[in-house]
């Protein structure tokens, strides 16, 4: 099965505040995205491909409300807290955090965990506290995955290596998989590979040979779990990624990388068309 995910990050912020939202006012932004994509996505067989969209928390209710009957869009959040509410237990003493129970109640069917930006944030906090255990982040992410699955959400679990980790990438990715997926029902998880060393302006993108090597490693390490390319599925690499048998889809972030940089529904649909048609 193929998986096409969309990470909307903070693309809701208007340009006058330094953001890239030219689509709609804040209150209408999520609904605009769902209503301008869900009907077009019906051309694809839901048994062959799924579409997950990860919204900032503010927009989950608007996105869920915009879904029509049998919509192919799965609404997702950009992470969950490592602890959750429980009957007779913690009633919700999680100020600033988002328990999986609240995300499920808001209509989330899926969540993204371990994105390189989340990993960097957790590592930075731990470093300020003097924690040097490099596996600590993976243990925290494992707790988040467990909470999400317990609330019947699927998980897109991101792994990846930084430039200084490339020489021992097998160890880095192996630990992220081993610890992050410990005790997890992996039938509820898809892996996203983010080559952190190649993401960003001026950096050389990972090529087909490298991505294939990583995908084969992940499948061997996990017993064949689905893996998508998280370094950015876009028009320019859709054909290349579609040609890799071991890759099962991709994670889209920006759809326009020049001019009016940002996310645009029509370009999102074009990326999907190119990938699903092998670049044609």
Half-sphere exposure of 186 (CA within 13 A, CB side): 17
CA nearest to 225, candidates 169, 180, 195: 180
Lowest-pLDDT range of 2-16, 26-40, 141-155, 199-213: 199-213
CA nearest to 110, candidates 222, 36, 192, 217: 192
Q: Which of 50, 144, 161, 194 is catalytic?
A: 194
Contact predicate 230/185, CB 8 Å: no
Q: Catalytic annotation on 128?
A: no
Give the Cα separation of 117 and 123 in Å (integer): 10
Mean predicted confidence (pLDDT) in 146-170? 97
For residue 201, name the pLDDT band (cuts at 50, 70, 90): confident
Tens digit of each residue's pLDDT (9 = 90 or more) over 55-107? 999 999 999 999 999 999 999 999 999 999 999 999 999 999 999 999 999 99
Give the Cα separation of 25 and 228 in Å (integer): 32
Q: Which pLDDT does position 280 carry in this prediction?
A: 74
Q: Which domains does the chain have, with CATH numbers?
A: 2-276 (3.20.20.70)
Asked if residue 250 has pLDDT above 70, the reply is yes
Give the Cα separation of 60 and 74 in Å (integer): 11
Q: Which pLDDT does position 200 carry in this prediction?
A: 81
CA nearest to 145, candidates 133, 157, 161, 160: 157
Contact predicate 18/26, CB 8 Å: no
Model-level pTM? 0.97
Q: Which pLDDT does position 208 carry in this prediction?
A: 97
For residue 169, name the pLDDT band (cuts at 50, 70, 90): very high
Mean predicted confidence (pLDDT) in 122-147? 96
Q: Catalytic annotation on 3?
A: no
Q: Which pLDDT does position 265 carry in this prediction?
A: 98
Mean predicted confidence (pLDDT) in 238-247? 97
* Token pair recorded at residue 186: 């992996």
Q: Which pLDDT does position 84 carry in this prediction?
A: 98
Q: Helix axis angle, 136-150 relative to 116-128, nearest 10°?
A: 130
Q: Which of 50, 115, 118, 144 is catalytic?
A: 115
Q: Give the CA-trace dihedral at 260, 36, 267, 60, to 10 degrees.
A: 70
Give me the percent of the chain exceeding a pLDDT of 70: 100
Tens digit of each residue's pLDDT (9 = 90 or more) over 32-62? 999 999 999 999 999 999 999 999 999 999 9
Mean predicted confidence (pLDDT) in 235-263? 96
DSSP 3-state assignment of 14? strand
β-bridge partners, 159: 193
Q: Which pLDDT does position 260 carry in this prediction?
A: 93
Asked if residue 279 has pLDDT above 70, the reply is no
Mean predicted confidence (pLDDT) in 149-170? 97
Tallying the residues shown for the chain, one arrives at: 280
Cα separation of the two ends of the chain: 20
For residue 202, name the pLDDT band (cuts at 50, 70, 90): confident
């Amino acid at each position: 099965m193929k998986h096409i995910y969309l990470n909307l990050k903070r693309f809701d912020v208007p340009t006058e505040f330094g953001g890239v939202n030219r689509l709609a006012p804040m209150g209408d932004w999520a609904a605009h995205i769902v209503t301008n994509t869900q009907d077009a996505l019906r051309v694809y067989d839901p048994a062959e491909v799924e579409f997950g969209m990860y919204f900032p928390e503010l927009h989950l209710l608007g996105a869920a409300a915009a879904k029509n009957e049998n919509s192919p869009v799965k609404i997702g959040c950009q992470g969950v807290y490592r602890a959750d509410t429980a009957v007779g237990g913690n009633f919700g003493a999680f100020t600033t955090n988002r328990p999986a129970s609240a995300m499920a109640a808001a209509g989330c069917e899926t969540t993204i965990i371990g994105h390189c930006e989340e990993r960097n944030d957790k590592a930075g906090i731990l470093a300020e506290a003097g924690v040097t255990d490099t596996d600590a982040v993976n243990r925290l992410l494992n707790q988040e995955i467990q909470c999400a699955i317990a609330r019947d959400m699927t998980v897109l679990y991101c792994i990846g290596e930084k430039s200084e980790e490339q020489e021992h990438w097998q160890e880095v990715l192996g630990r992220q998989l081993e610890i992050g997926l410990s005790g997890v029902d992996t039938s509820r998880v898809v892996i996203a590979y983010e080559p952190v060393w190649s993401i960003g302006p001026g950096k050389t993108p990972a090529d087909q040979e490298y991505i294939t090597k990583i995908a084969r490693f992940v499948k061997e390490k996990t017993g064949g779990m689905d893996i998508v390319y998280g370094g950015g599925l876009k028009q320019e690499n859709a054909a290349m990624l579609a040609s890799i048998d071991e890759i099962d889809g991709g994670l889209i972030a920006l759809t326009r990388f020049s001019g009016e940089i940002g996310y645009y529904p029509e370009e999102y649909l074009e990326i999907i068309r190119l990938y699903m048609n092998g670049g044609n």
